[in-house]
Amino acid sequence: MATGSGLDSQLGTKTETTVGTSATPVDHFWPFNSSELTFQPSYIEGMALQAGSRFKDVNLAGIARKTASGKIEIPIYMQKFGWWCQHLIGSAATPVQIGVTTAWKQVHTPAGLKGKSFTAQVGKPEPGTGTVKPTTYNGCKITDWSITWQDNALTILDMTVDAWNEDGATALATASYTSGNLAYNFSHVNNFTTGGTVTTTSGEASISGATVVPSVITKLTLEGKYTLATDRYGLGNAGVKKEQLETDFVALTGSFEGEYDSTTWDSVFRNGTTIAIEIDSTGPQIGSSGNNFALNVIIPAAKVTAAPAVVSGPGLVAVSGTFTVYNDGVNAPIQIKYVSSDTAL
């Protein structure tokens, strides 16, 4: 029964074969916390003078440019998250079966966003009628994103999406969700290390000799930002942009909060030391495969750019710092390994 509220809303996506060509009906559906995707046209108005008129002429007003954008926030689930990885970092990874089990591994590394886009459809309920109105967005690319691991909270993916246009005529797709899809949370983070030596073998990075972070870290956020040309408008395109292309270096940064630990953060900050960072989230076993659901992130080369430890009273001394990720010229700047039961993205 319709409620007319956000309880009836839905979010679906589908990878586009050709950038900007709407891929409908959407075929991946996501439980989500919020979606702020909205149509944001550029209005123009003329200033032509007409004798006896003190108001602007409506015949000179209209939409010159079409675009849409907004934030989307979703929990990270133990199944289907690999679909997002291809659009977060431009990965071309596909699932590979682990032995003869029901577990499949995906190793995602950056490969560029050119030629990669998706269509998103948001079902927005009307309170007055109870009707869920479909709004469909083509040519979607993620301009910035963050993954946050936080004490007593779900692991959250937050992203900003830039789209070509909004369409209100495409029919609302029938939502279908993955049954029993568990979400990662703070209790699943079973490994957090810094340092060590990173090696990449057969396209997969691993770290040896790393040190487990001894202090209590209550929050870690990893952020990616792509500088995209989102204003590629030209004559003959009916006010719609062309593909959003990268125009600057990818910015990959992070922040952390927790208890003060001079060895892990302060000394490497003062010395400008390059460190590797690894964080693991491990879920339950995948059937009887002997393998667990897992989300593993490896950053081979990071520098701590701030690590202030502030004494603000009789409580525990805290640190709230930042780091920047670099390319070491050998390993991928970031690797997201995802083990699930997904046989396809």
Q: What is the DSSP string of 43-110?
A: EE------TT--S--GGG-EEEEB-EEEEEEEEPBSSSHHHHHHHHS------EE-TTSS-EEEEE--
Angle at CA of residue 89, ends 86 and 90, nearest 5°: 55
How far, in Å, CA of 203 to CA of 220, rounded?
Answer: 26
With tokens 């930042």, the residue in question is: 322
Strand-pairing partners, residue 208, are 197
Closest CA to 246 of 267, 265, 224, 214: 224
Boundaries of domain holding 225: 6-340
For residue 308, give the 3-state DSSP assignment. coil
pTM to 2 decimals?
Answer: 0.96
pLDDT tens by residue, the chain, 345 residues: 689 999 999 999 999 999 999 999 999 999 999 999 999 999 999 999 999 999 999 999 999 999 999 999 999 999 999 999 999 999 999 999 999 999 999 999 999 999 999 999 999 999 999 999 999 999 999 999 999 999 999 999 999 999 999 999 999 999 999 999 999 999 999 999 999 999 999 999 999 999 999 999 999 999 999 999 999 999 999 999 999 999 999 999 999 999 999 889 999 999 999 999 999 999 999 999 999 999 999 999 999 999 999 899 999 999 999 999 999 999 999 999 999 999 999
How are the residues of the chain apportioned to helix, strand and coil, as percentages rounded to the nearest 5?
A: 10, 45, 45
pLDDT tens digits, residue range 229-262? 999 999 999 999 999 999 999 999 999 999 999 8
Tell whether 89 is covered by a domain: yes
Is 240 part of a structural domain of the chain? yes
Count of domains observed in the chain: 1
DSSP state for residue 260 in the 8-state scheme? -
- For 312, the enclosing helix (H) or strand (E) is none
Residue 191 falls within a domain, yes or no?
A: yes
Residue 231 has a pLDDT of 97
Please indicate, yes or no, if residue 40 is contained in any of the structural domains. Answer: yes
pLDDT number for residue 185: 98
Q: Is residue 13 part of a domain?
A: yes
Those residues with Cβ within 8 angstroms of residue 253's Cβ, 6 or more apart along the chain or in another chain = 222, 223, 225, 322, 323, 324, 325
**pLDDT in the model for residue 188:** 98
* Residue 20 CB neighbour total at 10 angstroms: 19
CA distance linking residue 86 with residue 76, whole number of Å: 14
Domain presence at residue 119: yes
Give the list of residues 6+ apart from residue 187 with CB closer than 8 angstroms, or none.
Answer: none
30 within domain boundaries = yes
The per-residue pLDDT for 1 is 66
Cis status, amide bond into 333, omega within 30 of 0: no
DSSP helix/strand/coil, 309: strand
Residue 124 placed within a domain: yes
Q: Which residue has the tokens 């927790």?
A: 258
